[in-house]
Structure 1
Amino acid sequence: MAFGQIRYSIPEEMRKGTLVGNIAKDLRLNLKELSDLAARIVYRGTTQYFALDFKTGYLIVKEKIDREEICRQASQCVLNVDVVLEDKAKIYSVEVMIQDINDNSPMFPNEEIEIKISESATPGARYLLQDAEDSDLGNNSLQSYQLSNNKYFTLDVQTGVGAVKYAELVLEKSLDREEQAVHHLILTASDGGDPVRSGTAQIHVIVLDANDNAPVFNQSVYKVEVLENVPIGTVVVTLNATDKDEGMHSEIKYLFRKITDKASQIFQLNSKTGIISVMGDLDFEEADTYEMEVQANDGGGLSAKCKVLIQVINLNDNLPELTVTSLFSPVTEDSPPGTIIALLNVQDRDSGKNGHVTCFIAGNLPFRLNKSSSNLYSLLTNRNLDREQVSKYNITITATDGGTTPQSISKNILLLVSDKNDNPPTFDQSSYTVYVKENVPAGTSIYSIKATDLDWGQNSRIAYSIIEGELNEAPLSSYISINSETGVLYTIRSFDYEQFRDFQIQVKAEDGGSPSLRSNVTINIFIVDQNDNSPEILYPSFPTDGSMGVEWVPRTYEPGYLITKVIAVDADSGQNAWLSYVLITSTEPGLFTIGLHTGEIRTANSFLDKHAIKQTLVVLVKDNGQPPLSATVTVTVMVTDSIQDILSDMSSISSPTDTESNLTVYLVVAIGTISCLFFIFIIVLLAIKLHTWKESQLFESSSINFSAYPTSRYIGAEGVREFLQTQDLSEKNLFEYLNSNHSDTLPVNNVSEKQASLLIAEALGSSDQDQCLFQLPRFMISDLYSRTHPNIDTLERKL
């Protein structure tokens, strides 16, 4: 190890590419050695102001250097650069002194200065003026003030603490407000540079009435200390100035007379109370002291000034900064002790012992740290490495400062030891389970698998691929693809939960060694159902026999009477298939209810005469998906105890037009068939009538039990109406029909119209009084009974 130091001096504001010094000559190295030794520059700051030209060996300016920005008002401005020769492990410290040039003109805080002077002011009265500021140093800084020619005022320039010059306006002649109310003057500030730079400010002197007492501060200098981490809003100091005058002449207003731009961003002054408080972040490392002047003006134009010195107390509030400037990894396992692994740069923005940093390695590792300079450390091997025991090292380097409450920071360096390809890739799981929503668009990322390889470099580069297989007679590659580099799985097509719900794929991970090693993993993919199927209503379904489906309910039902049940299914699963039933419209609201989850339609209130016989209900069936899907079904309910009510309402129940032709063919065939049976029925009926003539009064009974019929069956009301229209029969002329056309076979001389109507009602609605059916022709019984009783064999046995 070697260490050296070189110092150069250059003026500020040099152009990029300006030569600073010949590093090769000063280090006594020729250009070939300088290039072969791989020299480079390590900067201690954040901005890289210099660069090394390997062709010429010169240190050149890389960025424009502004002394005022870097060093502010410091008497000396030095930039530090370390030149590192890595192969020879030599470090040279270079100090570049930045010389000030006259690149800043004096500037006043305000381009216009307003001074209020009473007309009673006597000659010789003095008025403080704002000081101009010049960021340059020495002769290049502010040197003199000049005032424009006038007969009332002169300028007196004084030298204060630290050779700071300030100007006072001196009244030479009494003022007369009636003669001239405002005087306009020009104040010029000049520096001593070559060429001379200057700045001007307009002075507006406003003549006021008499004010014979100026404000007086209780202290000429306020000295305070403040911690650098105080919160915003903290009061630093409270200024106090008093005025013996009364009224507006005693009202004091505070303002900053002299303050730097940086200080004006950190401190604020309450113009009424004189309180100076913190409004920005204080940082000892940026500035340890702030000096400002405050002026107190009364209402009559008189003023006083005081100086405020704020000392910032340093705290250990900055963490050390640890940067790895060079890292030589991987390292061969046969590297000898003392091999350089990394070069570290350590800095701390704090000052004094708070900025003194020491580094150490955590744990018992075969490495050590060697301090090369105040800011540079070298990480070296301490003994031989063996990759078969340890393939990689996670080196933790901790930097700790010397504060009372020390601050520390750690840096992890991953060092790999090179080896041959003797480890296959290993997945982080033995198998994977992936859940994919159905209907996801093609190209969607659904999962990411990860395999690792303990080898290094090319031997650890893993490529992923899918082992071919089939799903539904299609290759797996038509369903799923994988990114060969990242292991991210993508969909090739969307999935349908109703087609298949899960499948498996095999993924292969292969490293880049020679020969390569590989391993496989199984991925189980499950399709997650989505609400993409609407409910399907199974019952009630639209009739296919040419008639309209109707539910028949007796008038004398009790509330809670079960009318029918709506049955629906949903092809989805889970909550997407949970169905609920809602009655959305009804002819008579409140007359019927439906079970929310059962779909059972029941009566809610008793039937009144004002209610219509025909009730139309619209039922909404919806699932529990998000958003929900639904379907509707219309249920027609006939509430009646008499066939007359049904026949009177038949005109309102229409059948589909496309079934009328089929119904006509059916009626023609039915009439031809039952006509043959009619004569046989008349003979049987005649024999029965002769035998039961004494019991004919049975037809006078008006008790009809409609409740014996199941309400969930459909009645072909349209078929009955068509049959009666074909035969040109009605309740009124049924009796005439039997007497006129069949008087020779059916003794009905004693049958009234009322009895004929009762016969029809009982034939259509009664199953308990079966003997009434024999009072009608067999073809009517057969047709009507077959429409209300699916099993016609029951009628055959009873006949």
Structure 2
Amino acid sequence: MEETQKLWSCKEKGIFQYLILLFVWKAVAGQIRYSIPEEMQKGSFVGNIAEDLGMDGKHLPDHDLRIVTRTGMVQYFSLNIHNGHLQTSERIDREAICGQTEKCILNFQVIVESKRKLYGVEVEITDINDNAPQFPPGEQELKINEISTQGSRFPLPEAQDQDLGINSVQSYQLTGSSHFSLDVKMGENGARHVELVLEKILDREEQSMYELILTATDGGDPVRTGTAQIKIIVSDANDNAPVFSQPLYAVSIEENIPIGSTICRVRAVDLDEGINGELKYSFKKATKKDSLMFFLNSTTGIITVMGDIDFEVSSFYELEVHAEDYGGLFDRAKVEITVTDLNDNAPELAVSFHTNSINENSPTGTVVAILNVEDQDSGINGEVTCLISQNLPFQLKKSIGNFYSLVTVDALDREQMEAYNITITAKDHGTPSLSTTVIIPLQILDTNDNPPLFPQSSYIFYLMENNQRGASVFSLKADDPDSEENSRIKYSIIKGQMGDFALSSFLSINSETGIIYAVSSFDYEEFREINFLVRAQDGGSPSLSSNISVTLFILDQNDNAPEILYPSPPTDGSTGIELAPRSSEPGYLVTKVVAVDADSGQNGWLSYQLLKATEPGLFSIGLHTGEIRTARFFLDKDALKQSLVVLVKDNGQSPLSASVTVTVVLADSIPESLSDISSISAPADPQSDLTFYLVVAVAFVSCLFFTFLLVLLAIRLHRWRTSQLCDSRNVNFSGVPVSQFVGIDGVRSFLHSYCQEVSLTTDSRKSQFNISKANYSNNPTDHLTGEIKDPILAGEDFNLTSGDQIILQVS
């Protein structure tokens, strides 16, 4: 009756747990908790996470809600982005995930990317009765000595049930013989120990074997059972049971202990002799997993390691060891194995969110990335510190749980650093310390925060006057550290004036290159200095600009000849007359020539010289003053009328000059000078005689030259007819009589000192003759031997056909 009430009580408790499976609440720290039973179908509803986060389901896709995944972890849940429901994505087996842990909780995080916020989620997996009690496979054999007294107890194999609580093994039942009964005892940890109780004295000769059925029943709904066949063999008398040296063996080992290492040795003593005193050690109540991790030598009792011991998988093992003699008597002892943690796992650093680029004007505190740090080790080995590269405008801020946010802490400047490779290191506190490094690349996007700048505060350029129109005058260059369109600069002239004229009539600028061109030719005498402003404006939005002051100086050229102011040039062809008394002493100032030059500098420095005078040496002129003075006393033989030609010359490169004729009359008074001038007959112009002689000389030379050409042509024709070596085109005058060159010898003395180029045109084609100075010997023996040393005769052949060019050189 009591067992029936217990079963109903367990059922009511299970129903109550099932009713609260879907209960959910939000914790103060931002955690969201759900509770679901295990073994739910894939796609089963867990909870409305969007509603629990206070989101509008209609605009859910705009929030970018998703589950943060971790590398290597099985994802048991998925998120329906259309309605915000949290669903199962895999079949969840609580026993496979949590084993015998009382509370099985799965943790994960969800991120709202639109807000860049993390929320922790806990889902508790509750147990259902999905596992039946199971005994060790095969038939269980138990030996009982026939002299065993009534009430003797013998251990029976216990059933293992992976479920917990009411769903685990609750009762045992034994059937098959009235000689035996069943006694179930509760251990300290709540486990049930099953013992076989001898109710009647055994007689091996009467019956040597009994077959029993042991049934284990759990308390789940529906109820599940497991059975085991027990074979009882009645043996001869053995009146001493083995006894362990200690009831509990507690050992501590490090994880990663090598396979084959000895953990401990259990020892039991049996006072019987012979075969009844020989003991056999074995594990009892050991799971399949534990039996694969450890090996117990049945003879020596030494326990060794058979598998990989990992603290992160299991930190504690509890084994039960039996020592049994061959008479069936036994004793039990417990072995507790504690695994100590080693720092054998490096921290795991996962990037949950990362942006590839941000603007350089992003405010401080902008989230660049969200990272999750985990370390499977425990204690100090699992404590992790995250570090970031020094001297970077970024900082790691701890968020929920083991999450960190990488944010900006200083202003960013793309012109100083275009991109960052942010190195983040997760380092644990173990010995030796292990670490993991992640590099997060980040591109800094440009904003138009830098105006174009000129390298100088102002510019001064120089340009020679009389420049060509359209010529490049100079160029300006501004720099903008921004990129792309923000650094594309356009140049313009924004302010400038040249008298009454607009600056655009004289200068223009190429908006792309900054080269300034002269639109017109400048005149130094008109403009000597031009001041204006040039603007450099970038292509950003909004655009930035800067101005620069430019001064252009026009340099002078010697393009103006001196202008004589006094004596003024006559309008009727006559010259001005100056009087010089006959009694004048040397140094007497007769007159002064006054001239000016529009040029400046050395181009405007004037010098005076006396180019021509009727009586050389009678007058002198000041080099820089232009003063005409007497150089000596006048003589009676000096002409009364003196004509002086004065040359005024500037000091420029390729100097320019002007001249003026000054007439000086040697007389003491004006009436006397007039009477003297009228009595003087006009002298013949010596300049006209010189011109006549030059014309006659040129005519004579031309006639002589044409005569020479005719003689040369006759000799060439004669040689062309008589020569047999037509292909060589060389003239050999060795066989020609000397008398044929009489004409040439006659003009040789004239050609000795002249070189003249004559062009003859025939049918619009030119034949050139180059005559250069002769170089020959006057040795009379040359004429006697008849050798021709004149290059005119020893040169190449001459082709006098129409249209050919002939070059004749006498040397």
The alpha carbon displacement at 1:184 in A equals: 1.3
The alpha carbon displacement at 1:228 in A equals: 1.8
The alpha carbon displacement at 1:417 in A equals: 4.3
Aligned residue number for residue 335 of structure 2: 308
The alpha carbon displacement at 1:405 in A equals: 4.6
| Distance in 2, Cα, partners of 1:331 & 1:314 | 43
Aligned residue number for residue 356 of structure 1: 383
Letter in 1 for 2:364: P
Contact residue 224 and residue 311 of structure 1 kept, 8 A: yes
| Distance in 1, Cα, partners of 2:50 & 2:409 | 33
Contact residue 177 and residue 210 of structure 2 kept, 8 A: no
The alpha carbon displacement at 1:276 in A equals: 0.9
Contact residue 83 and residue 94 of structure 1 kept, 8 A: yes
Asked if residue 90 in structure 1 is aligned to residue 117 in structure 2, the reply is: yes
Q: 1:3 to 1:381 in 2, by over 3 A?
A: farther
| Distance in 2, Cα, partners of 1:149 & 1:158 | 21
| Distance in 2, Cα, partners of 1:261 & 1:363 | 52
Paired residue secondary structure (1:28): coil
Asked if residue 35 in structure 1 is aligned to residue 58 in structure 2, the reply is: no
The alpha carbon displacement at 1:340 in A equals: 2.6
Aligned residue number for residue 775 of structure 1: none
Asked if residue 192 in structure 1 is aligned to residue 219 in structure 2, the reply is: yes
Write the mapping of 1:34-73 to structure 2, written as runs, cut at 5 A. 34-43=60-69, 46-73=73-100
Aligned residue number for residue 263 of structure 1: 290
| Distance in 1, Cα, partners of 2:29 & 2:162 | 36
Aligned residue number for residue 355 of structure 2: 328
Choose the corresponding residue for 1:17, options 43, 52, 55: 43
The alpha carbon displacement at 1:286 in A equals: 1.8
Letter in 1 for 2:55: L
| Distance in 2, Cα, partners of 1:57 & 1:325 | 20
Give a deviation string over 1:401-421, Cα, whole Å, max 9, x none: 23465332222223344689x
Unaligned runs of 5+ in 1: 421-455, 457-799
| Distance in 1, Cα, partners of 2:95 & 2:33 | 21
User: How many matched pairs?
Assistant: 422
The alpha carbon displacement at 1:164 in A equals: 0.9
Paired residue secondary structure (1:264): helix
Write the mapping of 1:591-610 to structure 2, written as runs, cut at 5 A. none
Letter in 2 for 1:374: G
Give a deviation string over 1:27-69, Cα, whole Å, max 9, x none: 1111134321111112568111111112222111111111111
Letter in 2 for 1:234: S
| Distance in 1, Cα, partners of 2:343 & 2:60 | 41
| Distance in 1, Cα, partners of 2:380 & 2:67 | 27
Letter in 1 for 2:333: C
| Distance in 2, Cα, partners of 1:43 & 1:293 | 41
Aligned residue number for residue 252 of structure 2: 225
Asked if residue 382 in structure 1 is aligned to residue 409 in structure 2, the reply is: yes
| Distance in 1, Cα, partners of 2:397 & 2:136 | 52
Write the mapping of 1:784-795 to structure 2, written as runs, cut at 5 A. none
Asked if residue 117 in structure 1 is aligned to residue 138 in structure 2, the reply is: no
| Distance in 2, Cα, partners of 1:418 & 1:56 | 36
Aligned residue number for residue 8 of structure 1: 34
Aligned residue number for residue 296 of structure 1: 323
Letter in 1 for 2:417: V
| Distance in 1, Cα, partners of 2:436 & 2:293 | 29
Unaligned runs of 5+ in 2: 1-27, 448-482, 484-811
Contact residue 3 and residue 90 of structure 1 kept, 8 A: no
Choose the corresponding residue for 2:228, options 178, 185, 201: 201
Letter in 2 for 1:5: Q
Larger Rg: 2
Give a deviation string over 1:558-586, Cα, whole Å, max 9, x none: xxxxxxxxxxxxxxxxxxxxxxxxxxxxx
Letter in 2 for 1:15: Q
Asked if residue 240 in structure 1 is aligned to residue 267 in structure 2, the reply is: yes
Asked if residue 369 in structure 1 is aligned to residue 396 in structure 2, the reply is: yes
TM-score normalised by structure 2 residue count: 0.50
Contact residue 133 and residue 161 of structure 2 kept, 8 A: yes
The alpha carbon displacement at 1:144 in A equals: 0.9
Give a deviation string over 1:364-420, Cα, whole Å, max 9, x none: 222221222112112223334444543432221111223465332222223344689
Aligned residue number for residue 433 of structure 2: 406
| Distance in 1, Cα, partners of 2:155 & 2:29 | 56
Contact residue 69 and residue 352 of structure 2 kept, 8 A: no
| Distance in 2, Cα, partners of 1:415 & 1:186 | 72
| Distance in 2, Cα, partners of 1:247 & 1:106 | 39
Contact residue 340 and residue 380 of structure 1 kept, 8 A: yes
Paired residue secondary structure (1:202): strand
Aligned residue number for residue 754 of structure 2: none
Give a deviation string over 1:761-784, Cα, whole Å, max 9, x none: xxxxxxxxxxxxxxxxxxxxxxxx
Paired residue secondary structure (1:20): strand
Letter in 2 for 1:13: E
Choose the corresponding residue for 1:337, options 358, 361, 364: 364
**Which stretch shifts more, 386-395 or 219-228?**
386-395
| Distance in 2, Cα, partners of 1:32 & 1:261 | 52
Asked if residue 159 in structure 1 is aligned to residue 192 in structure 2, the reply is: no
Paired residue secondary structure (1:161): coil
Letter in 1 for 2:43: G
Write the mapping of 1:579-658 to structure 2, written as runs, cut at 5 A. none
Contact residue 119 and residue 400 of structure 2 kept, 8 A: no
Give a deviation string over 1:653-683, Cα, whole Å, max 9, x none: xxxxxxxxxxxxxxxxxxxxxxxxxxxxxxx
Paired residue secondary structure (2:332): strand
The alpha carbon displacement at 1:327 in A equals: 2.2
Give a deviation string over 1:461-518, Cα, whole Å, max 9, x none: xxxxxxxxxxxxxxxxxxxxxxxxxxxxxxxxxxxxxxxxxxxxxxxxxxxxxxxxxx
Asked if residue 147 in structure 1 is aligned to residue 168 in structure 2, the reply is: no
Letter in 2 for 1:8: Y
Contact residue 43 and residue 88 of structure 2 kept, 8 A: yes
The alpha carbon displacement at 1:101 in A equals: 0.8
| Distance in 2, Cα, partners of 1:251 & 1:411 | 62
Paired residue secondary structure (1:103): coil
The alpha carbon displacement at 1:140 in A equals: 0.7
The alpha carbon displacement at 1:127 in A equals: 0.8
Contact residue 111 and residue 200 of structure 1 kept, 8 A: no
> How big is the alpha-carbon RMSD for the aligned residues of Structure 1 and Structure 2?
2.4
Write the mapping of 1:209-608 to structure 2, written as runs, cut at 5 A. 209-403=236-430, 405-417=432-444
| Distance in 2, Cα, partners of 1:413 & 1:54 | 28
The alpha carbon displacement at 1:151 in A equals: 2.5
TM-score normalised by structure 1 residue count: 0.50
Letter in 2 for 1:224: V
The alpha carbon displacement at 1:21 in A equals: 1.2
| Distance in 2, Cα, partners of 1:179 & 1:96 | 61
| Distance in 2, Cα, partners of 1:244 & 1:391 | 86
Letter in 2 for 1:280: G
The alpha carbon displacement at 1:282 in A equals: 1.6
The alpha carbon displacement at 1:363 in A equals: 2.8
Aligned residue number for residue 80 of structure 1: 107
Paired residue secondary structure (2:259): coil
Contact residue 60 and residue 82 of structure 2 kept, 8 A: no
Letter in 1 for 2:208: A
| Distance in 2, Cα, partners of 1:339 & 1:160 | 59
Letter in 1 for 2:169: L
